[in-house]
Structure formats: structure tokens, C-alpha cells
Structure 1
Amino acid sequence: MNAGIGTTYYTGDLTEAGNLGHLRLGAAINGAIAYRYSPQLTFRLEGQVYFIRGSQKSTHLAYNNLSFYSVNPDIWAGIQWDFWQENDKNHVIIPYALLGAGLTYMTPRATFAGSYVSLAPLHTEGVDYNRLPVIIRYGLGVPIVATERFKWNLEAAYTHVLSDYLDDVSTVYPDRSKLDVFAAALSDRRLELGTIPNATGAQRGNSNRRDGYFVLSVRLIFIVRTYVQRNYRRSFPR
């Protein structure tokens, strides 16, 4: 059994690669159960709540003025593979890789006129997108402290979301005349900067690249020893 807490970094249409001065980090908390099937293979089931955010402010697209934040749940199941066996005397630290799939529920929001607004129901691009997409997660971890019953692991994982609407931005600006006034104001926020709105069909996002998020976390693992495991450890003394 294990639990973790960490920081998030969103990748998508409202972030800019290499803009280290404006990373806009978030936070995550998670819990998992895992079962060691063999000396190197572990099955893992995990649930998480994560906060991510993004904004075009201080980027080369600042003139479009789009932004979002989300507090989303996700759940995934997969495998964890240790690079060496637990009883390997030649390696004091044994890192691991993880791979799995699951689901997340997307809740993109924005701040508008001093209020928090849910963006998905507004159909800001004229699209009613799926808010429960499949996710694929992969990453690496390494124990930093270990005892007989407890471990502290440092883990870095990336979650690839099979949707481009994690941030409510994907394709082009819709025809504003087909949106209600409120939806039109959240679809194109240039008016808040005193500039004219984008033309219908102008580029709003990049639909060729799906969204995702990194999580760097510290995890506390409590090891539950079974009768079979205790006998296994006795047969392979360190």
C-alpha cells in the first residue's frame, strides 16, 4: 500500500516549451495498492487527484489571452518492473519503470469577471467533447530510503491523455454568432485586452498534439508481508 504527494506540470496548447520562467506548476495527491507477482514484476492500481493550470500570458501567444485550470481525478492500472531482483546483492538501489492505462475526468475552468467558470459545457470551440478520455501512463522511480516494512520512493511519471481538450483548447475559433454571449466571451478573450476578436476559423490550438501532464512525487510505501513472501525472503538471504 502506498501514498504520494507531488507537483504537476501540464503540457498542451496553453503552455510554451522552454519557458522556464513560467512553468505554472500544480499539485497532486495519490494512493495505490500494489502486488508483487515475481521478484521483478509488480501489479499496481492507483487513484489520483491532480491540479494543473496553463495560460498564454507571458508566451508568444499572449495576445490571445486564453487560460485554464483543472482539478481532475484519474485512475489507472498497470505494471511496475524493477531493473534488478529485490535480493540482488550487487545493487543497493533498484530503480523501476512503470506502464499502465486508465481514465481521467476533465474539468477545465477559467476565471472570468471575478468568477470561476466551467468551460466544457460552454462548447467554446463548438464541440461537445468527451470529458472521460483514456490515459496512458509511463515513468521511472527510485527508492531513496528503505527499511523492512517502509520505503520512500521518488517517482516521475508522464500521463498521455487521448484527448486534446484537457485545456479546452484544440482546433480553431468557431463562428461567434452561433454561440451565446457568455460562451463567445470565453471562446475568444482578446476583447479583454482591448483588441478585436479572431476571425472564424483562425487557429486556436494545435490538434496534432495531444495533451498530458507530468507528476514528480514522493511516495511512502508500506510493505505487507504474506506467508509466501516471508518464506521467499528466507530462501534468499541478503
Structure 2
Amino acid sequence: MNAGLGTTRYLGDMNERGDLAHLRLGVAMGIAAAYRFSDRFTFRAEAQLYYIHGSQQDTHLSYNNLSFRSLNPEIWAGVQMDLWHPDDRNHIIIPYVMAGVGFTCITPKTTYKGQTYSLAPLHTEGVDYNRLPVILRYGIGVPIVAGERFKWHLEGVYTHVLSDYVDDVSTVYPDRSRMEPLAAALSDRRLELGKTPNLAGAKRGNNTRRDGYFILSARLIWVVSTAKQQHYRRSRRG
């Protein structure tokens, strides 16, 4: 069993990937269960809650004035593989890699005139997108402190979302004249900056690259003692 707490960074249409001055970090927490079924391979299943946010402020698209934030749940399952055998005496620290698949529920929101609004129901691009997309997770972990029953690990994991609407931005601006006033206002927020709204069909996002998020977390692992494990420990000490 293990539990983790870490920081998130969203990667999508509302940030600059190389802009280290505006990381817009969030937070994530999760619990997981893992079962080692061979010397180097472990099955793992996890439930997690993560907060991400983004804004076009301080980017090359700041004149469009879009922003979002999300507190989302996710579940996933996959496999961990130790890079070396646990009995390898040539390596004091044995890192591991992981990969898995699951689902997340995306809930982009924003603030407008002091009120918070959920963006997905407003169809800000004129489409009803899937709010329960598949996710692909892959990353690496490193044991920091290891005892017989409790361990501390550091993990870095990237989650690739099979959707481009994590941030409610993907393709082009719709025809605002056919939208409800609130939906139109949140679809194109240039008016708040005193600028002319974009024309229908103008580029709003980059749909050639799916959204995702990176999580760096510290994890506390509790090793559940079993008769088989106790026998294994005794055999190693002997």
C-alpha cells in the first residue's frame, strides 16, 4: 500500500512549455495498492485527485485572455518494472519505471465577474466533448529511504490525456451570435481587455497536440507482511 503527495504542472494550450518563470504548479494526492508478482515486476492500481490550472496571461496569446482551473479525479492501473534485480549487490538504489492506462474526469472552470463557472456545459467551442477520457501514464521512481516495512520513494510521472479539452480549448472560435450570452462571453474573452472579438473560425487552440500533466510526488510505501514474504526475508538473511 502507498500514499503520495506532490506537485503538478499542466501542459496544454494555455502555457508555454519552455517558460520556467511561469510554471503554474498545482497539487496532487493519491493512494495506491501494488502487488509484486515476480522479482522485478509489480502490478499497481491507483486513485488520485489532482489540481491543475493554466492561463494565457504572460504567453504569446495573452491578448486572447483565456484561463481555466480543474480539480479532477483519476484512476489507473499498470505495471512497475525494477531496472535491476532486487538482489543485485552492484546497485544500492534500484530505480523503477512504470506504465499504465486509466480514466480521468475533466472539469474545467473559470472565474468571470467574480463568479465561478463550469466551462464544459457551456460548449464554448460549440462541441459537446467527452469529459471521461482515457489516460496513458508513464514515469520513473527512485527509492529514497528503504526499510523492511516502510519506504519513501520519489516519482516523476507524465499523464497523456486522450483529449484536447482538459483546458476547454482545442480548435476554433465558434459563431458567438448563435450562443447564449454567458457562453459567448466565456468563449472569447477579448472584450474584457477592450479588444474586438475573434471572427468565427479563427484559431482558438492547437488540436494537433493532446493535453497532459506532469506530477512529481513523494510516496510513503507500507509493505504488507505475508507468510511468503517473511519466508523470503528469512532466506535472504540466512
Give the TM bin, normalised by the shorter chain: over 0.9
1:29 paired residue number: 29
Residue 44 of structure 2 aligns to a residue in which SS? strand
1:101 is aligned to: 101
- Name the residue aligned to 1:143: 143
Task: State the SS of the aligned residue for 1:22.
Answer: coil
How far apart, in 1, do the equivalents of 2:138 and 2:35 lie? 18
Post-superposition Cα deviations, 1:78-103, rounded to whole Å, max 9, x if no partner, equal 00001112222221101000000000
Aligned equivalents of 1:54 and 1:18: distance in 2?
14
CA distance in 1, matches of 2:68, 2:187: 12
* CA distance 1:88–1:237, shift in 2 (3 Å): farther
Alignment of 1:1-238 (within 5 A): 1-237=1-237
Unaligned runs of 5+ in 1: none
| d(CA) in 1 for partners of 2:41, 2:61 | 45
C-alpha deviation, 1:138, in angstroms: 0.2
Moved more, 2-11 or 89-98: 89-98
Q: Is the 8 A contact 1:87 1:237 kept in 2?
A: no
| CA distance in 1: counterparts of 2:85 and 2:234, whole angstroms | 15
**C-alpha RMSD of the superposition:** 0.9
Q: Please say if residues 164 and 170 of structure 1, whose CA atoms lie closer than 8 Å, have aligned partners that are also in contact.
A: yes
Q: Which amino acid aligns with 2:164?
A: D
Mapped to 2, the partners of 1:147 and 1:232 lie a distance apart of 15
In structure 2, distance between residues paired with 1:46 and 1:175 = 41
2:206 partner amino acid: N
Whole-angstrom CA distance in 2 between matches of 1:163 and 1:140: 23
Q: Aligned residues, how many? A: 238
Amino acid at match of 1:177: S
3-state DSSP of counterpart to 2:21: helix
3-state SS of the aligned residue for 1:236?
Answer: helix
Q: Verify the 8 A CA contact 1:87 1:236 in the aligned structure 2.
A: no
Q: Residues of 2 paired with 1:2 and 1:86: CA distance?
A: 19
Which moved further from structure 2: 190-199 or 86-95?
Answer: 86-95
TM-score (norm 2): 0.98
Mean alpha-carbon deviation: is it higher for 95-104 or for 78-87?
A: 78-87
3-state SS of paired residue (1:5): strand
Over 3 Å off, 4+ runs: none
Amino acid paired to 1:129: Y
C-alpha distance in structure 1 between counterparts of 2:44 and 2:30, whole Å: 13
| Distance apart, 1:234 and its partner CA | 2.6
Output one character per residue of 1:127-166: Cα deviation in whole Å (capped at 9) or x when no partner: 0000000000000000011111110000000000000000
Gaps of 5+ in 2: none
Report how far residue 235 of structure 1 moved. Answer: 2.7
State the 1:124 CA deviation. 0.1
- The percentage of aligned residue pairs carrying the same residue is 66
